[in-house]
Structure 1
Amino acid sequence: MPIDAEKAVAAEPRSTRISWGHKDVQLYHLGIGAGADPDRADPATDPGELRYTLESRLQVLPSFATVAGAGVVGGLSSPGIDIDLAAVLHGGQSVRVHRPIPVTGSAVQTSKVAAVYDKGKAAVLVLRTEAADDEGPLWTNDAQIFVRGEGGFGGERGPSERVAHPEVAPDRVVERPIRPDQALLYRLSGDWNPLHADPEFARLAGFDRPILHGLCTYGMTLKAVTDTVLGGDVTRIRSYRTRFAGVVFPGETLRIQMWTGENQVRVEVGAVERDGAPVLGDTFVEHS
């Protein structure tokens, strides 16, 4: 079996020093649609957008942590893992920030395979990365990666992330268009999986054309919640988790539904052009 679960989990964590600057942050924000908010009359110069795009006013959306360092694809080279990228789908993602991410910084990022679960027809890898700088912990990322065809090895099935759909109407609904070139721009932040750019590779993976990165949808959704519910203040965000419920194609429109509670926003995301086909489910933003 290409995945040796015992070897993968037992492997020593790998540490690397990472660094980033304002251009990395700006590129990431542009990749998730900053400067193009359809709710703003002039989004390129609106003060609410400049906090994502102008270096003198810049703040860092916590989902930036998902592209800092090696990213998800880098974690797939861990000991005990030898898989075909065409069989890989991103199943879920969580980010917890321990304090606001600085615009310019460096940190030691430690990566490991935290768990390998057996879902029958697929294996699920939980890839954990933790980053800390001289002042202490910055963030903890958990990526759940589905590897089709690698289940059935007799391992633990793992926890279920499913929660019941809200029975009441959402408190807020916004729509965010995805540019036709969104995946090409987003991948410049470090996720080079050809599934999101190469039509031939996408067909090998079972899609008729390249799909958008799940983490791009993830970032677009967090920005929408931040701007709509949190007054654009990224420092209020404590954690953010989602389950990737379906694919998105560049050129589509995201419908983002929000249910607000005490220190938490529940979110569901669907694709407008496909009758609201689910994109993100079981999604929660915890905030102060």
Structure 2
Amino acid sequence: MSIDLDAVGRTAGPVSASWDSKDALLYALGVGAGQDDPLSELELTTENSEGIEQQVLPVYAVVVTQKTKGLHVPSGDIDRTKLVHAEQELILHQPLPVEGSAQLSSKVTGIFDKGSGALVSTEIEAVDDAGKPLFTTRSAAFIRGEGGFGGDRGPSSEWAAPDRKPDHSINVTIRPDQALLYRLSGDRNPLHADPKFAAKGGFSKPILHGMCTYGVTARVISRAVGVDGNSFASIYGRFSKPVLPGETLTVNVWSDGKTHLFQTSDSSGDVVLDRGVLTTR
């Protein structure tokens, strides 16, 4: 057993993070903004279009935490070829600015025994320069082969797709080079670019970043239901199957007031992002 069960409760930070207009633009391109029509999402992809104010996709907040050094909390000697992103939640306490700075602190909140592997949960809190809460992220990583230690299986949640047709069903094609573009926002994990590294993890070729699937999904839902950075409140999703670049995804959305349930599926019909919930203010 190489996972360190005593890591629960350990913290890192606070550390400083900052981002600017260019970071926001590159991220938007990395999750497909303007891909189908270069003129359709200029508020995300340009900073100097007449009459259009630049916006940042709220889910970029998660990327800020991922690329900030000093937040990693050691939880054992883990084989990264066996680690996959399992869950991701973002809660915005105030709108994310196009450019800004924050203080980030992280904490390991749980290590759960899933039998075939271990689930390591982490929470990151961000406060703005005035000390006010800016956003909270909660993520979970699944590590194959690290389960079976007799621990708690962790909390379970109720979720079911409504028994009716989706209010929105959006098809979106992932470019063959999408992972190469997305990695420039900070996640340089070779699993998404290096064929030999991907093969060690049991994949036929490099897979798309889970957070790219997450960002693409959040972007197309926001457009479909009319959510912007001021009205976006939170998003949660569970990664259920890797996505290969070049895939066509379908995002199904069931809306009920300020709550939007969603599932993202690949071209075979398999769900790749499950139990999705996006809320608005």
Separation in 2, partners of 1:177, 1:106: 33
**TM-aligned CA distance change 1:87 to 1:27, over 3 Å:** same
Q: Which amino acid aligns with 2:276?
A: T
1:213 is matched with: 209
Task: Give 3-state SS (helix, strand or coil) of 2:8's partner.
Answer: helix
2:38 is matched with: 44
Separation in 1, partners of 2:136, 2:233: 11
Deviation at residue 280 of structure 1 after TM alignment: 0.8
Identity %: 44
Q: Is 2:31 the counterpart of 1:32?
A: yes
Tell me, yes or no, if the aligned pair for 1:161 and 1:282 is still in contact at 8 Å.
no
| Residues 186-197 of structure 1: pairs in structure 2 closer than 5 A | 186-197=182-193
Separation in 2, partners of 1:208, 1:74: 33
Tell me, yes or no, if the aligned pair for 1:263 and 1:286 is still in contact at 8 Å.
yes
**TM-aligned CA distance change 1:23 to 1:188, over 3 Å:** same
Q: Is 2:280 the counterpart of 1:287?
A: yes
Q: Is 2:170 the counterpart of 1:174?
A: yes
| Residues 62-141 of structure 1: pairs in structure 2 closer than 5 A | 62-71=58-67, 77-135=72-130, 136-141=132-137
**TM-aligned CA distance change 1:174 to 1:80, over 3 Å:** closer
Tell me, yes or no, if the aligned pair for 1:119 and 1:151 is still in contact at 8 Å.
yes
1:225 is matched with: 221
Tell me, yes or no, if the aligned pair for 2:93 and 2:233 is still in contact at 8 Å.
yes
Deviation at residue 196 of structure 1 after TM alignment: 0.5
1:2 is matched with: 2
| Higher helix residue share | 1
Separation in 2, partners of 1:241, 1:91: 11
Q: Deviations over 1:18-73 (max 9, x none)?
A: 1110011111110000111x3xxxx2123xx0110112421121110111044499
**TM-aligned CA distance change 1:93 to 1:195, over 3 Å:** same
Separation in 1, partners of 2:87, 2:157: 9
Deviation at residue 234 of structure 1 after TM alignment: 2.4
Q: Deviations over 1:130-174 (max 9, x none)?
A: 111123111100111001111111221101246223321111111
TM-score, normalised with respect to structure 2: 0.94
Q: Which amino acid aligns with 1:125?
A: V
Q: Is 2:8 the counterpart of 1:15?
A: no
Q: Deviations over 1:82-107 (max 9, x none)?
A: 21110101111000000111111111
Q: Which amino acid aligns with 1:240?
A: I
Task: Give 3-state SS (helix, strand or coil) of 2:59's partner.
Answer: helix
Q: Is 2:227 the counterpart of 1:235?
A: no
Q: What are structure 2's unaligned runs of at least 5 residues?
A: none
Tell me, yes or no, if the aligned pair for 1:66 and 1:72 is still in contact at 8 Å.
no
Deviation at residue 74 of structure 1 after TM alignment: 7.2
**TM-aligned CA distance change 1:234 to 1:208, over 3 Å:** same
Q: Deviations over 1:185-238 (max 9, x none)?
A: 0011111111110111111101101110110010001110110112x5222110
Tell me, yes or no, if the aligned pair for 1:72 and 1:143 is still in contact at 8 Å.
no
Q: Which amino acid aligns with 1:282?
A: R
TM-score, normalised with respect to structure 1: 0.91
Tell me, yes or no, if the aligned pair for 2:114 and 2:148 is still in contact at 8 Å.
yes
Separation in 1, partners of 2:171, 2:128: 37
Separation in 2, partners of 1:284, 1:218: 12
Separation in 1, partners of 2:147, 2:186: 28
Q: Which amino acid aligns with 2:39?
A: T
Indicate the RMSD between aligned Cα atoms, in angstroms.
1.6
